[in-house]
Amino acid sequence: MTVMVVGGAGYIGAHVVRLLQEAGVGVVVVDDLSTSNAGRIGDSPLVELDAASPEAVEVFRRTIREYDVDSVIHFAARKQVGESMERPLYYYAQNVGGLVNVLEAMQAEDVKKIIFSSSAAVYGMPQNVDMVIEETPCEPINPYGRTKLIGEYILADCARAWGLSYAALRYFNVAGAGWPELGDEAILNLMTMVFDRLERGERPLVFGDDYLTEDGTCIRDYVHVKDLAVAHIKALDVLDKPGSEHVFNVGTGTGASVLEVIEAIGRASGRDTTPIIKERRPGDPPRLVASAKKIERDLDFVSTTGLDEIVDTAWKAWRFQHD
Ligand code: WQD
């Protein structure tokens, strides 16, 4: 049995690859290395490929045959919300096109199990919702979120048409590092953006402190990347029945505010993290916290790593990369 991990050299993918390797499961990684590097995947074979390129279906088919692939984990995608609003066609071509190519190859080679990286971005701006459940209406507010929701629709259609079994995992705010060398190298999210400013001797920025939350800053559900990786391994186990469809939030059920995260960064780093308050950033929901009940019930998965450990491992990984 071999798992083909598309986007396996990226931040989250590399954590899953590491866990599969530790479990003795065969892995082949397919990655274009555009936002990742081959050093993250150890000894696993690497096929360098842009999943959305014209030759992708053929290369995926060959890879499936060569490595006797029986399941796929599909991470590869563009994930910058702002960029998706400026270049929507690029996002649809990459995220939707890439998924379609993977599925075409799977159908042709009779591989019927896939785990798909979806996102809390499918929910958009849930109003007056304490915790988002999987049935909360999906109303994405940007092309990035729409590419993920369309991905879920495509999977559902394939499940009904040719017996594809899938699990779509809706990630909340992923952070931390399971191994210092596998940290998030992008400076696109709160923790790494704060680290980057501290590194340059600047104070952290808070985008708005006048939201209707306890301390006025936005609340998110931070989930440790290694816990998230474990969820993928557990999800592989529920795909044996043909045509099975699963959609899960992956979060902790607990929220933390921007100020709480910045304070935790102060504790982990020993630096002064007194923030500068800026304007609100457009499109930020005040509160986005997962109900994690369904994945607990169906996969026996609970993410237990607390905020301090998430921040601490993220900071150690940052130091590993920058010292
Ligand atoms: C968290 C909070 C910011 C930086 C995004 C995407 C989502 C998903 C994950 C993935 C917000 C505030 C941030 C800073 C701040 N993408 N902030 N100062 O926006 O919840 O989710 O990443 O694949 O689709 O939308 O995450 O980390 O950008 O922000 O105050 O310097 O931190 O305004 O409230 P977000 P984030």
Ligand 1, residue 280: give the atom nearest the CA. 33
**Does the C-beta of 293 come closer than 6 Å to ligand 1?**
no
Q: How far apart are CA 250 and CA 299, in angstroms?
A: 11
Q: Is 169 exposed, middle or buried (0-12, 13-18, 19+ CB in 10 A)?
A: buried
**Does the C-beta of 119 come closer than 6 Å to ligand 1?**
yes
Q: Is 163 left (phi over 0), alpha (psi -120 to 50) or beta?
A: left
CA of 1 to the centre of ligand 1 (A): 37
**pLDDT (0 to 100) of residue 160:** 98
Q: How far apart are CA 229 and CA 119, in angstroms?
A: 14
pTM: 0.98
**pLDDT (0 to 100) of residue 253:** 97
Q: Per-residue confidence of the chain (323 residues) as pLDDT tens digits?
A: 899 999 999 999 999 999 999 999 999 999 999 999 999 999 999 999 999 999 999 999 999 999 999 999 999 999 999 999 999 999 999 999 999 999 999 999 999 999 999 999 999 999 888 999 999 999 999 999 999 999 999 999 999 999 999 999 999 999 999 999 999 999 999 999 999 999 999 999 999 999 999 999 999 999 999 999 999 999 999 999 999 999 999 999 999 999 999 999 999 999 999 999 999 999 999 999 999 999 999 999 999 999 999 999 999 999 999 99
Angle at 81 between CA 47 and CA 306, to 5 degrees: 85
**Does the C-beta of 207 come closer than 6 Å to ligand 1?**
yes
Look at ligand 1, atom 28, and give the residue with the nearest C-alpha. Answer: 189
Q: Which residues are catalytic?
A: 144
**pLDDT (0 to 100) of residue 128:** 83
**pLDDT (0 to 100) of residue 183:** 98
- Residue 96 is classified by DSSP as I
**Does the C-beta of 81 come closer than 6 Å to ligand 1?**
yes
What sign does the CA torsion over 40, 44, 49, 52 have? negative
Ligand 1, residue 285: give the atom nearest the CA. 34
**pLDDT (0 to 100) of residue 1:** 85
**Does the C-beta of 284 come closer than 6 Å to ligand 1?**
yes
Q: How far apart are CA 55 and CA 101, in angstroms?
A: 9
**Does the C-beta of 33 come closer than 6 Å to ligand 1?**
no
Ligand 1, residue 194: give the atom nearest the CA. 31
**pLDDT (0 to 100) of residue 71:** 98
Q: Is 23 exposed, middle or buried (0-12, 13-18, 19+ CB in 10 A)?
A: exposed
Please answer whether residues 289 and 220 qualify as being in contact, where contact means their C-beta atoms are separated by less than 8 angstroms: yes
CA of 196 to the centre of ligand 1 (A): 15
**pLDDT (0 to 100) of residue 255:** 98
Q: What is the pLDDT of residues 148-175, one digit of tens each?
A: 999 999 999 999 999 999 999 999 999 9
CA of 161 to the centre of ligand 1 (A): 37
Which parts of the chain fold into alpha helices (H)? Answer: 11-22, 56-67, 81-86, 88-91, 98-109, 143-162, 190-199, 225-236, 258-269, 293-299, 307-322
**Residue of 78, 81, 194, 289 to mutate, ligand 1, most atoms within 8 A of C-beta:** 81
**pLDDT (0 to 100) of residue 127:** 87
Q: What domains lie within the chain, and their CATH numbers?
A: 2-174+223-250 (3.40.50.720), 176-221+253-322 (3.90.25.10)
**Does the C-beta of 79 come closer than 6 Å to ligand 1?**
yes
Give the helix/strand (H/E) hosting 27: strand 26-31
Q: How far apart are CA 158 and CA 103, in angstroms?
A: 8
